[in-house]
Amino acid sequence: MLSGLYASFVTLNRLKDAHSAYLRQHAENPVDWWEWSPEAFAEARRRNVPIFLSVGYAACHWCHVMAHESFENEEIAAYLNQHFVAIKVDREERPDVDSIYMSATQAVSGHGGWPMSVFLRPDGRAFMAGTYYPPVDRQGHPGFLRLMQAMHDGWENQRPLIDRQTEEISRAVEQELSVLDRLQPATSSALQDGVDVLESNLVAACDEFGGFSRAPKFPRPSYITALLSRLHHGPVKAVVSLTLDAMSRRGLYDHLRGGFARYSVDAKWHVPHFEKMLSDQALLALVYLRADRAMGGGTPWRAVALDTLAFVRTDLRLPRGFASSLDADSNGEEGAHTTWTPEEVAAALDAAGLHDLIEATLYRYELHGADTFEGRYIPQLAPGVPFDTPAEFLPVRAALCAARALRPQPGRDDKVILEWNAMTAVALFESFEPTLVADAIQLLDDLTATHGVEGVWYRTDGRTSHATAADLAWLTIALTSGFEATANDSYLDRSIAVAEYLLQNHWDGEIPTPDAPDTGRGILASSTSQSDLPWRARDLFDGATPSGYATATMAFTRLAKLTGQERYLLAAERLISLARPLITEHPTAVPDLLEAALFHEQGLEVVVPGPSGPLLEVARRTFIAHGLIVHGDGSSPLLQGRMVGSAYVCRNNSCQTPVDSPAALRRQLASMPPEEPS
């Protein structure tokens, strides 16, 4: 046992008033946590002790496990307090901090994940990094207390070793963050090569259950989006159909409340990691909407998207915006709020007077047989059962949801993230459902009021850090989507203002001009006003969400086409030029950047001057792989000099003959598949 001095260490509970729900979850720990701040680093310098940095998020199951095992342990906490300054970071609130130290963690351990556990010098440089540690040695993993003792001994008695490790990790981090500067010229600069490589890699990676990896399986909507323009290739169509059906029919999808879990721990998409993230709902709703249009309609996928957005609008709705996540755990047990026994189903339906539907319900959701999760069942759809809930099963779904609501519920992280809410607005707009479009309009107004204050944009409604490049780029895209949906020029004006803020605060170097188009070193993830970082990353590679670099490229491209302003065209071209070796040779690392480059080079503009009508409805029901739909009588140059009552299909300033009938527009759109990109 530790001495009485250590055991009586009093913490200051600095996290009790934190905006982040994740930080507040740790407020009562005996660990003397600090938030990420200059004061925390100053304290480490004053005491001449290392920093222990713990990064996670509110819905993270293994974050909870490490908290219960180690951070709530008095002995472990006392040692941590005595020999380190402990800093807790919410990765969703500070993705810039997370990105930097994830590079360090991957350099040390070869993999990443959360909770992320990093030991830092007082100057912010890492000398040891990993993820989850058990409290004591277990299954080949060192115990957290023993690890801390080794780090303390190294700091006190083996400082040269610590110095060497610091330099090695720093070099690895700097190499990771400077990858754009070190790219070699591409063997081929043709985007078509990138498209071909992406297609072949994804088709080869898809297994019999769909998806693009072994277990654990993560939905990768960016990959599916990138394949939608290639559905005329039989293998691609099969991969897309298999993956979208599997993800929406098995346990990854919540068939009672709607919405997708974060990932599946098995290969069949059946056993989910039960947390639900707003970003996943938005991106998956988008890909299901687009895939339905790409297949010509009539698939169940539009219903999947609308059901997902219904979950967002009910379970994640806040007075201004949408919450970021629901926890994987309820009452300390993973997934307890969503799993069933046949007896629980029978009791719920009996109570609702639906006894006659018990057997049919057990069949529909496959709540029987040997395929259980810790002795309980995860609802999934039986083969041949339609995704849409039949009318006779609506009372069943309502009764089961009511019974589920009586159980302990998962925690909800109520912070409003600008990036994730903006991508949600895009999905709402792309539904073309009047009620959902109205929600998107209100959401953009709310985000402007809560996140843009006195000329500064913030990532969350708590305004604890400046907006990232991804935040601002997604907001720009959402505002241009607002213009497409409403024909209201104010959205175009607002999108220009946000894009300018993005350029002024995140462009690395001189902004390109017609006289100097090849200037600047790309987009930086964090704002120049965010001064509390040892390095500034570019956020180049796509992951669970598109990178800030890719999203900025798409935002500038869309804005250039809508406004005709060369400033944004040059910015997009520079970003594509800098990363072209990655796009053409390693497209699976940057699928969203490939999509932005394709949009830039071969994007369509479908222009329908005047009020809404049948021509506009045809355009909205048609899948346009890389394109814009513009209508109304606004100020966009795409609308100038065009006749009301006609539709214009254009690519790279070259337009087809205008048409004035829905049938003619359908034929024209069908005759203009994506070009073979150069």
Sorting pLDDT into bands at 50, 70 and 90, what band is 6?
very low
pLDDT at position 672:
77
* Domain regions of the chain by residue span: 4-177, 208-413, 418-602, 604-678
pLDDT for 642: 94
* Averaged pLDDT, 215-239: 95
204 contacts 210 by C-beta, under 8 angstroms: no
The pLDDT assigned to 11 comes to 66
pLDDT tens figures, 254-263: 999 999 999 9
| pLDDT at residue 421, rounded to an integer | 98
pLDDT interval class at 10 (50, 70, 90): low
Q: Which amino acid is at 411?
A: G
Q: Is the pLDDT of residue 8 over 50?
A: no
The per-residue pLDDT for 5 is: 41
Averaged pLDDT of the chain: 93
Residues 326 and 412: beta-carbon distance below 8 Å: yes
> Half-sphere exposure (CA, 13 Å, Cβ side) for 77?
22
Residue 509 pLDDT > 50, yes or no? yes
Residue 654 confidence (pLDDT): 87
> What whole-number distance in Å separates Cα of residue 558 and Cα of residue 476?
9
> Per residue, what are the HEC states of 127-182?
EEEECCCCCCCECCECCHHHHHHHHHHHHHHCHHHHHHHHHHHHHHHHHHHCHHHH
Predicted local distance difference test score (pLDDT) of residue 528? 87
Collapsed DSSP state (helix, strand, coil) of residue 309: helix
pTM: 0.95
Alpha-carbon dihedral angle through residues 249, 242, 279, 339, given to the nearest 10 degrees? 20
Collapsed DSSP state (helix, strand, coil) of residue 350 = helix
Mean pLDDT confidence for 637-651: 94
Q: Is the pLDDT of residue 2 over 60?
A: no
Confidence of residue 653 (pLDDT cuts 50, 70, 90): confident
pLDDT surpassing 90 at residue 371:
no
Confidence of residue 266 (pLDDT cuts 50, 70, 90): very high
Residue 198 sits at the vertex; the CA angle it makes with 196 and 204, to the nearest 5 degrees, is 100
DSSP-derived secondary structure letter, 217: B
Per-residue pLDDT tens digits for 292-343: 999 999 999 999 999 999 999 999 999 999 999 999 888 888 888 999 999 9
Share of the chain residues as helix, strand and coil, in percent rounded to the nearest 5: 50, 15, 35
* Domain 418-602 top-level CATH class: mainly alpha
Q: DSSP 3-state assignment of 381?
A: coil
Cβ neighbours around 148 below 10 Å, total? 23
Residue 165 has pLDDT above 70, yes or no: yes
Question: Euclidean distance between the first and final Cα of the chain, in Å?
Answer: 68
Q: What order do you get walking across the sheet with 627-632 strand by strand?
A: 627-632, 604-609, 648-651, 654-655
**Does residue 58 contact residue 39 with C-beta atoms inside 8 Å?**
no
- 635 CB neighbour count, 10 Å cutoff: 14
What average pLDDT does this structure show over 391-397?
A: 95
Q: Is the peptide bond before 216 cis (omega within 30 degrees of 0)?
A: yes
Contact 538, 506 (CB under 8 A): no
Q: What pLDDT was estimated at residue 222? A: 97
pLDDT band at 1 (very low <50, low <70, confident <90, very high): very low
| Inter-residue contact 128 to 119 (CB < 8 Å) | yes
Is residue 3 very low, low, confident or very high in pLDDT (cuts 50, 70, 90)?
very low
82 three-state secondary structure: helix
**What residues pair up with 128 in beta bridges, in sequence order?**
119
pLDDT digits (tens, 9 = 90+) for 412-469: 999 999 999 999 999 999 999 999 999 999 999 999 999 999 999 999 999 999 999 9
Alpha helices in 352-463 (DSSP H): 358-364, 394-405, 418-431, 434-451
183-218 pLDDT per residue, tens: 877 677 789 999 999 999 999 999 999 999 999 999
Query: What percent of the chain is modeled with pLDDT above 70?
Result: 97
For residue 674, pLDDT over 80 is answered with no
* pLDDT value for 4: 41
Distance CA 14, CA 32 (A): 8
Token digits for 11? 């913490």
Report the pLDDT value the prediction gives residue 167, as an integer from 0 to 100: 96
Per-residue pLDDT at 330: 85
pLDDT, residue 676, reads: 56
pLDDT at 533: 86
Count of CB atoms within 10 A of residue 15's CB? 21
Annotation: CATH topology of 4-177: Glutaredoxin (3.40.30)
> What interhelical angle do 434-451 and 469-486 show, nearest 10?
140
Which pLDDT value is given to residue 443?
98
